[in-house]
Structure 1
Amino acid sequence: MSGEKTLSFCTTDSVQGSHVFSVSGYSKQRGMGCGKFIISGAFSVGGHDWAIRFYPDGFNKGYLDYISVYAELLSKDAQSTGLSSSLDNTEPRLFSQTNLSRFAPQTATFMARSEFEASPYLRNDHLEVECIITVMEKVRVSETRVPLSGIAAQLGKLLEANDIPADITFSVGGVVFGAHKLVLAIRSPVFKAEFYGPMKETAGTPLITIKDMQPGVFKALLHFIYTDSLQITDDLEGNDRVEMVQHLLVAADRYDMEKLKLVCQRILCENLDVENVATMLALADQHRCDILNDACVGFISCQKIMDSVAATQGYADLKRSGPSILVDAQLKIMRRLYKT
């Protein structure tokens, strides 16, 4: 019996920049000596500093009759490719500033002196070296997804295609969404009480206005209700994605959807940092999220991290609006440190 097939995606963010190193009076540079080089001005690509090295008399004694050009990493380590528009096209590699790997690969950057001086690269005793560098900044891997099947797939199609006409509509930030009362009631005790409880609507097809919620958040909430899977816009990343999940957690608490709250807490726990942990702590307290609360306390248990957190705006806001939350967190930290 075959196992369940799942899916995830990997994408890499990159930044590309170029620098032209213009060398006049090439003939005057000859005779500098083997291993001697001319270095370009530093230039920045992807938050890293780079330079171009030009060796008129060869990189070492084994290449006395060759000229050579290198791209060199000057600052912290980076993963990148270094491209010379006509001579060299390297594969992605890791540059380390502390050793020889800070230089671009050497093989195609060597050219016989006689070949170079007869080539169109040298004109009127002048040459230009263009280095195009692409820095791979961050690898993003999506959450593992299970392709929808069975009833989840059918309900997802119901939401998207509206084969069965909606019997309830919502207006969220000026955007109208159609849905089905029975599906919403099965998934959310709040919707169940609203549609089938003592205070249920008696009109035909009411339009319910949802306040204090973004349309994108409500759309993600509906998707989870119908398919039991989380869908967040693919073009959201970093802080924008974390902010969306925070809003979705608030919505999950509002409609008493515990599973969605757990999913959101897990994502937020994986994205804690010095700048947002105080805000996350306040969010966890306000919406009764024990898992997120414990993760925040664990994150700031380190004194060095705590000092950094205390310097953030989020901490200042929490200190002003919810000092009791900080007191509770500090007590938990003390228990962790002294295991009492």
Structure 2
Amino acid sequence: MDKRRSETWSRFVTTSAQATHYFEVIDFSLLEGWGAGWYVSSRTFTAGGRAWSIRLYPDGLKEDKAAHASVLLCFVGGAKGARTRYTLELLEKDGGVSDLQAQGTTTMLSHTFRTPGATWGFPKFVKKSKLKPPLRPSGDGFTIRCVLTVVGESEPEDVTAIAVPPSDMHRHFEHMLRNGRGADVAFEVDGQLFRAHRCVLAARSPVFAAELFGSMKEKDTAEPIKVDDMEPCVFEELLHFIYTDRISGDKRGTGDRNAAAQHLLVAADRYALDRLRLMCEAKLCRGIDARTVATTLALAEQHRCALLKDACLAFVASRDVLGAVMETDGFKHLAVSCPLVLVEILDKIVKGMSP
């Protein structure tokens, strides 16, 4: 009798795609009073090959005496039958999740969106009587964050299939920068010493390539290279990006984050790091307000950041903030350093007033 046994294994694999979208709402008080069911929408973002948006109903989805604001996720377009898991969260100014949301709204939602135009979310997202007091000193605005996972096709597969993990190259390079092993060049920034690897710097930045290997090569390589007009924390962040292609997490307040992004943008332009420069532009676009817009506009003009400049001009022209902007020190600096920009501001405002 043949007692040999055959053993096989399989596993069930489910694919997914994730996206995070931040929907910043400015001048919330101007959106109230239009009645239940009226909403404003975020820009469309994509996840899982489908288009999505966040809808905010300032007076609620249904009649409840406008006591609550509603927030829903909308399936804008794409293949039908989208299985999802997602969160909709109200963020504080420092980026933390607010405790003002109605009980239970921070939990993960699971829903299948069967047709484009379908919505699902929280009809009682936040009680407006709790929301309004903290808005007054912070500019009458807030941010909604959606972390969306779209579940893809599921299928069984042979266990011999090898799952390849995502790249972690950036972690290895970050470790190399931190432990300094093999470092062959040093920089002195305001008395602080930074060690690095000249081949890595040259591969990432044409300016470093010229400085370290080209005609600009330092004669005395034993001495640290002095970097003027830059703070040590900015140079440290610059090195972190060069080695990891990422910006480190920043827990500072909004104003401090804007200032840090401004300094980093200048450094990125100085060393021809175009991706870092655009990342800083994107950060500054999200942080535009009446207090910082003039400073950011001057920076955009001086460093030829066309997209950031357009965002600043649009902010000033689309909101009744010019009086507050003109009172800032940043506007005084703008008037002296970039006087032609003032003409562009007025032109933008006049065009916005035209019928």
Q: TM-score, normalised by structure 2?
A: 0.54
* Identity value in percent: 39
Partner of 2:335: 319
Q: Which residue number corresponds to residue 175 of structure 1? A: 192
Bigger drift between 149-158 and 252-261 goes to: 149-158
Query: How far 1:174 sits from its partner (Å)?
Result: 1.4
Superposition pairs of residues 43-192 of structure 1, within 5 angstroms: 79=100, 96=129, 149-163=167-181, 165-192=182-209
Alpha-carbon shift at residue 305 of structure 1 (Å): 1.9
Provide the secondary structure at the position in 2 that maps to 1:177. Answer: strand
Distance 2:330 2:222 in 1: 43
- Displacement of 1:79 in angstroms is 3.9
For residues 72-120 of structure 1, the C-alpha deviation after alignment (integer angstroms, 9 at most, x for no partner) is xxxxxx9499xxxxxxxxxxx957289xxx9xxxxxxxxxxxxxxxxxx
| Residue 268 (1) aligns with residue 284 (2) | yes
Structure 1 residues 278 and 241: CA distance shift in structure 2, 3 A: same
Deviations 1:264-318 (A, max 9, x none): 0000000000111111110000111111101001101136222332233322222
Aligned amino acid, residue 182 of structure 1: C
Q: Deviation above 6 Å: which 4+ runs of structure 1?
A: 4-8, 138-141
**What secondary structure sits across from 2:226 in the alignment?**
strand
AA paired with 2:274? Answer: E
- Tell me the distance in 1 between the aligned counterparts of 2:319 and 2:101: 35
The one-letter code of the counterpart of 1:322 is: C
Q: Provide the rounded CA distance (Å) in 1 between the counterparts of 2:250 and 2:282.
A: 18
1:335 offset after TM fit, Å?
A: 4.9
Kindly tell me the number of residue pairs found equivalent between the two proteins.
220
Tell me which structure has the larger Cα radius of gyration: 1
Distance 1:2 1:97, change over 3 A: closer
Q: Deviations over 1:7-44 (max 9, x none)?
A: 99xxxxxxxxxxxxxxxxxxxxxxxxxxxxxxxxxxxx
Cα 1:7/1:298, change in 2 over 3 Å = closer
Q: In the alignment, does 2:274 pair up with 1:241? A: no
Shift of 1:186: 0.9
Shift of 1:199: 2.3
Query: Closer, same or farther in 2 for the Cα pair 1:5/1:263, shift >3 Å?
Result: same
Give the CA deviation at 1:139. Answer: 8.4
Residue segments in structure 2 that go unaligned for 5+ positions in a row: 1-13, 22-98, 103-125, 134-141, 149-164
| Separation in 1, partners of 2:187, 2:15 | 41
* Change beyond 3 A, Cα 1:289–1:95: closer
The answer on whether the counterparts of 1:242 and 1:268 sit within 8 Å (CA) in structure 2 is yes
Q: Secondary structure of 1:269's match?
A: helix
One-letter code of the match for 2:297? L
Relative to structure 1, the CA distance from residue 301 to residue 211 in structure 2 (aligned partners, 3 Å threshold; closer, same or farther) is same
User: Which of 293, 307, 319 is the matching residue for 1:277?
Assistant: 293
Deviates more, 1:312-321 or 1:171-180: 312-321
